[in-house]
Structures are given as structure tokens and as C-alpha cells.
Structure 1
């Protein structure tokens, strides 16, 4: 890129610089950080804006040349549940505009992530006259179908999501399934491009299983089922635990269930972990179940490689980053047959798809893979190949860069025609 462009990546509630595995730190945080870094390598000047959630954290974190996270003060500098952050949206807009003015930066375009950021981006589009692109990461219209207690913020969220689709210059869907949901459940208006999420195929690699198990202290002949992610009811961890409880393999002394992910006592994820531990105890699975807590970026590839299967039992996932991390590591995923997981996981080729919340189906999937090591190995090899071909971060960033440049060109043409 001859003339470097300034990009504002907006992720109000998902801090790109935060330690992954903490509360409210999951796939979106990884997506924004990795996309930002890869785009910087390709010549963009990338500022990633988020809300300061800890007064002790630095306000600016430099990740690499031309890529940094900027934490704006919007509300208390403390953890705020996601559903309450929208209350501080106007503070965030004001702080962003002050930062831009003080630093004398003219952003060429913004790319917002999640509906709260989408509202913010629509303000920037209007106030700064810059193009706006948006990635949902999760659609309220889909999410609210799978839960009984609809939050008070639901109507606001649905309205903002509709405005984003109809008013943004382009929506970035992470799978064909997500695009279909937008068109059928949100609005028939709007421009949508499909660009998947990615993964670091050098970091998540086909490490030898025995090497991985030796490092982690796992027996060479163990039958290991692995989950990694937030403790949240929508992640379906209960389905996994009950599936293991029904599995034919549960009486095999080699079976190990590892449920990884951070949690904070008293917070929503800590409460959910307590509930899951209660179910483990109820099903008498305590001896085979381990909760290692937050797993470091350094160790995570070894957990994936050590596993016979990685289970992603979410009630809904617009993409499903864990699935491709596992697949990149040569481990098949047993995943819910929903959303983007239908795109990332190819049933009986790179893993197994099962209906969400279907304990019997997940149990059968676990049994199939654990009972057939040769098939499990073939699934893993197919999975690695699929990730190499479709889901590297550099490839994702190239597609996004091309889309940004096209959007800028289209915007310039529209302005020229309007003033002609």
C-alpha cells in the first residue's frame, strides 16, 4: 500500500489487549487483535479502540509497528457487564473524537465489532463522514431464539443491528450461514461480504500427540475430550458434561475430560463454573474431570494437540474460532450444528456436527471418535488441511484489506457524483 491508510477498529466491550480467557474475553478479542496485527503487516496504520475496564491498565498498548490498542474512559474504569456497557456509548464517542482531535489523526474508515460498537460506528460515519464496516460476532435475532429470559436491552439491540445492516457501507459476515441469518431475520437491505475468521496456523500446528501429552503430564494412552472457552450457559458446557456422563467410554479408566477457561468467583462466569462443577459431581465424573482454569497462549496448542476430540457445544456460534484452532492442531471438533460451525466443520470429514443441546448426539459423537483411532487421525489430517486452505489470518487480512480499499473507492466515487 503506497499511501498508508488509518483504520479504526472499534471493539467497545472486547479489549484486544486483554488476557484471553478472562471474563468477556473470547473469540471477538482474538479476532480484532489478530486482524489488526495482520493488517498492520500489510501496510495499514491500525488503532484498535476499546473501553478501559481497569484503572491500572495502560491506556495505550503497542502491539507492533503501526498497531496498538487504545483504551478510552467510558463509564467506570472497572469491569462492567456487557449488557450494561451500552449506557456509556456516548462517553465512548466523545472520548474517541477527543483522541482523534488531540492526536491530529484523520481515520480513513472504521470497522466495528458487535452491536454496541456498531452504534458507535454509525455516529462516526455521520460525524466524520468516513465509511463504516461492521462485523456482528453474534446476532440478537438468533441468540434470543435460544434463551428463555430475554434481556431488557433486547429491543434496543435488535434495532441497532438492523440500523447497522441498512446503513453501514458493508457488513462482514464470517460465514454463509451468518449472511443468510442477516437477510432472513434482520433486513433484506444492506451490502454483505463473507470473509471468515482466521487462526495462526504456525502457532496452532500439528504437534505430535505424545509430545503434547508429555509436556502436559497426560498419560500416553489417555482418551482425552477437551473444551476451552468462556463459562457461559450459551456455550453448552452442560451438554458436554452430560454427554460424557452418558458415553460408553465413561467407565474406561483412561477417559479424561478437560474443561479449560478462566472464571472469576462471584461474577457470571464464576457462577456458571460453579454450576458446571455441580453437574460434574452429580454425575459422579469428578475423578475424570479437570478444570485447569485459564490456559496460556503458549500451552493452548499443546492441549488441542493432546486431545482426541475438541467439543464445541455452543447453542449458537456465528463462526466458532475454537473449532478452527483445534482443526489447525490436527484435532477433530465435535460441534453444534449451528451458525458458522456448519461452515468451519465438515460433518464426518473434519469432525462431527450434532444438534445443539442434544446430549445423546454429542455422546454418540464422542464415542465414535474415541472408539476409532484411525478415523480420528484421518479427521484430524483433513481438518488441518482445511484450515491451511481457508482460515489463515494473513489470508483473512488480505480479503479485508481488499474490501476496505474497494469501500474507500466506492465512497469517493459516491461523493464525486453527489458534488458533480
Structure 2
């Protein structure tokens, strides 16, 4: 099958988990014998077009304006980005005949619909998160409402909508009136070997970040909905029970300055964005990895930490509640509740045997249920469904045209 994927991020340009997801899915599909082209945003130092790990990657240079991070600027940038993305994809498709267009999130929606119409192939959309969910159901500004409208439109235009959890399926059905038959749950995958921490790297990370007490960590984009402020609020309670405790926050984002102001003398350090083996080593060196999100469609980072062999403590919200079983593969706590977070993390830190058993069971489940080979196979099944549904649509349209042809022409044909 020939697949045209559209994503606003792809290695080496990584902003969050979406780029890692698209990369893993694309390379796994290629390994399974499919032909994948990813059209994405250009980044300095990368080639405009190349084959890497078997994937044809086409990178579109930015058109003006440049995004500054403000919502209104982001919308303007996104519209310009869709123009350059469309041009790059059309050039890439001159010599190819694709079977499906796969769009990842609203930032590529306009290009995806244009290519769907131009190439006359079915459109599949993955909704990784929603604007409403990111803002806890509140859409205060015109830009927020515009993004919400684009998400609704993309879901309406797609033959099939892929979501990463049952929680997200309920959300797109409720928010965007997507018929349940058109929404398919396909979990995110994890390359367990990729996240297995090297002993020497773990030792180095431990020496760098940990003191005399336990080490807990978080990694992700520093935005309000990730809930890092609740982890910070729990630190005094944890340090009272576990003297010398250290916390490492890895990642960057618009909320970083506020979090740094909260940190004070809590024993919290900000590592910035960590890539490759650095992040794996930090996870492996930690006594507990914490995901305190208020909103989390899936929570892939929890599985990555589990693959690194680290016990995880997660907020019982969204997809996290589906992938971590309390007391079996990790511990859960009420989202937005620092006292509950401190209690859950404290239970892991206080009992090393309990922590080890959680980590072993979680790593086993990652290998069994969340391999990228499984996820890629399920995604291909969705592509097949989309192609079958689209074929039926084409047949209905052809029949409708025939039924409306004047009798003399119909007889001649």
C-alpha cells in the first residue's frame, strides 16, 4: 500500500510526542512492506527530500508569517504552513499514485483535504488531542474556537478517524458528532528496546541528578494541562517523608518560567529538552516517573518510562487510566490533587520490592500489548476500511450520475 502522511513535526524536528509517533508508525509500516511518504515541516540542517529508514521524507520550507507562540499568530502560521505543505505534497505526488492520505492533527487539515480531493483517495485523520480537551472544555478566544472548528471539519471530511484511547473516542464523538462506526481506537506504540536504558548511562544520570535521597522525574512539553504545577505542590510533602528527594523536570514550553518561579528551593531542577539516550537514562535513573496531567489523550511517555524499567505514577485521567492499572503496572492518583500525588509516589518510594514488581509487570505489558508492529497492523486495517468505504461512496456517486443522465445519452452509452 502507498501511504501519504502529513505531519507538522518529524525527526529531527520534534516538539512533542506527535513527531515520535509518526516516525515510529512510518518506519514500522515500511518494515512491513508498505510504501510511505511523509510530508512535513523543514528544519535547518535537514535535506529537503531524502529516504531515511526506508521512509521518503519531504520537508516543506516555511512560508511567512513566522509563528511567535501567540494563538492568533499560530493560526496565521498554520494557514501559511498548509500552503507550503500542499505544494510540497503535490510535487511529491507527481510520480506516485497513493492509496490513502493520513493526516495527523488539525495543523495539516487544509492540506489533507486538498490532497484528498486532488489525488481522489480516502482521507484518514488521527486526532492526537483536541483544543477543547487541552483547555478543559473552555474555548475563551476566537483562535481557540477556530482551532476547534478546524478539528470538527477534519473529522467530518475523514472517512475514518483514528484516536489513541477509548477516552478520546468518546471525546470526538461528543465534541464533533463523529459516528461511532467512523472512529477507531488504535493505541500508541512503544519500541521497548529503544527505551531500555544502558547501565552506564543510568549511572551517569544518577550521579548528575540525584543526591542522597530518591529521584523522581517528569518529561514533556511544559504547558498547563501537563499538570507539573501539581507535582511541584506535592514536593514539600514528599521531601518531608523522603529527605534529600530530588525532582528533575525535562522539557520546555510556555509554562516553564511559571514553573521555575514555583520551584524556589524545593530541590527541583529543569533539564530542558532531552533527546535520545539522555531521556532514557534519566528515566532509568529515576526511582519513580510521574505523569501529573490534567488532560492526557493517551500518555505514551508513561509507557516509555515503563519500558525503561522505571515504576510509574500517573494521574487517573484520559488514556492514562486505560494503560496503567493501579497496584499492578503502576500507581494512579486523582488529577489536580497534590496530596493524592504525594501519597501515590510515596508508596512507590517507600517500598523497593513493591516498586520493582510494578516496573517488571509494566515492562512486560509494554512488550505484549503496545509493540509498534501491532499498532501498524491495526492502522493498516483502518486504511483498508477507509478504502472500502470510499469505494462504496464512488460507486454510489457513479450510480447517481447514471440515474440523472438524460435518457437519449444513457441509451447511447
TM-score bin (small chain): 0.7 to 0.9
Contact 1:174/1:318, CA 8 A, preserved across alignment: yes
1:187-246 CA-to-partner distances (Å, cap 9, x unmatched) read 1436011110011111123766x9723564266974110111122222221111111122
TM-aligned CA distance change 1:414 to 1:42, over 3 Å: same
Contact 1:59/1:70, CA 8 A, preserved across alignment: yes
Q: Which blocks of at least 5 consecutive residues in structure 2 are unaligned? A: 400-413
Match among 332, 339, 350 for residue 353 of structure 1: 332
For residue 299 of structure 1, what is the aligned residue in structure 2? 278
Contact 1:53/1:77, CA 8 A, preserved across alignment: no
For residue 9 of structure 1, what is the aligned residue in structure 2? 5
Which secondary structure does the structure 1 equivalent of 2:276 belong to?
coil
Which secondary structure does the structure 1 equivalent of 2:57 belong to?
strand
For residue 140 of structure 1, what is the aligned residue in structure 2? 131
TM-aligned CA distance change 1:215 to 1:51, over 3 Å: closer
TM-aligned CA distance change 1:322 to 1:84, over 3 Å: farther
For residue 195 of structure 1, what is the aligned residue in structure 2? 186
Q: Which blocks of at least 5 consecutive residues in structure 1 are unaligned? A: 264-268
Contact 2:2/2:34, CA 8 A, preserved across alignment: yes
Structure with the greater relative contact order (CA < 8 A, sep ≥ 6): 1 or 2? 1
Length-normalised TM-score, structure 1: 0.85
- In the alignment, is residue 76 of structure 1 matched against residue 64 of structure 2? yes
Q: Distance in 2 between matches of 1:220 and 1:61?
A: 45
Structure 1 position 413, deviation (Å): 4.2
**Aligned ranges 1:301-316 → 2 under 5 Å:** 301-316=280-295
Structure 1 position 36, deviation (Å): 0.7
For residue 78 of structure 2, what is the aligned residue in structure 1? 86
- In the alignment, is residue 170 of structure 1 matched against residue 164 of structure 2? no
Match among 238, 241, 246 for residue 256 of structure 1: 246
Contact 2:13/2:43, CA 8 A, preserved across alignment: no
- In the alignment, is residue 18 of structure 1 matched against residue 18 of structure 2? no
**Aligned ranges 1:306-385 → 2 under 5 Å:** 306-385=285-364
Query: Looking at CA atoms only, which structure, 1 or 2, has the larger radius of gyration?
Result: 2
Q: Distance in 2 between matches of 1:78 and 1:63?
A: 28
- In the alignment, is residue 409 of structure 1 matched against residue 388 of structure 2? yes
Which secondary structure does the structure 2 equivalent of 1:153 belong to?
helix
Aligned residues: 393
TM-aligned CA distance change 1:373 to 1:289, over 3 Å: same
TM-aligned CA distance change 1:68 to 1:189, over 3 Å: same
Contact 1:241/1:279, CA 8 A, preserved across alignment: yes
TM-aligned CA distance change 1:369 to 1:76, over 3 Å: same
For residue 259 of structure 2, what is the aligned residue in structure 1? 276
**Aligned ranges 1:6-155 → 2 under 5 Å:** 6-12=2-8, 15-20=9-14, 25-52=15-42, 54=44, 56-65=45-54, 67-76=55-64, 81=69, 82-88=74-80, 90-92=82-84, 94-96=86-88, 98-100=90-92, 103-145=94-136, 150-155=140-145
Structure 1 position 379, deviation (Å): 1.0
Structure 1 position 127, deviation (Å): 2.9
For residue 160 of structure 1, what is the aligned residue in structure 2? 150
TM-aligned CA distance change 1:363 to 1:61, over 3 Å: farther
TM-aligned CA distance change 1:73 to 1:390, over 3 Å: same
Contact 1:53/1:76, CA 8 A, preserved across alignment: no
- In the alignment, is residue 180 of structure 1 matched against residue 170 of structure 2? yes
Which secondary structure does the structure 2 equivalent of 1:317 belong to?
coil
Using the TM superposition, name which of 213-222 and 26-35 deviates more: 213-222
Contact 2:328/2:361, CA 8 A, preserved across alignment: yes
Which secondary structure does the structure 2 equivalent of 1:376 belong to?
helix
The CA RMSD measured in Å over matched residues stands at 2.5
Q: Distance in 2 between matches of 1:142 and 1:74?
A: 28
Structure 1 position 69, deviation (Å): 2.4
Structure 1 position 78, deviation (Å): 5.5
TM-aligned CA distance change 1:293 to 1:61, over 3 Å: farther
TM-aligned CA distance change 1:146 to 1:351, over 3 Å: farther
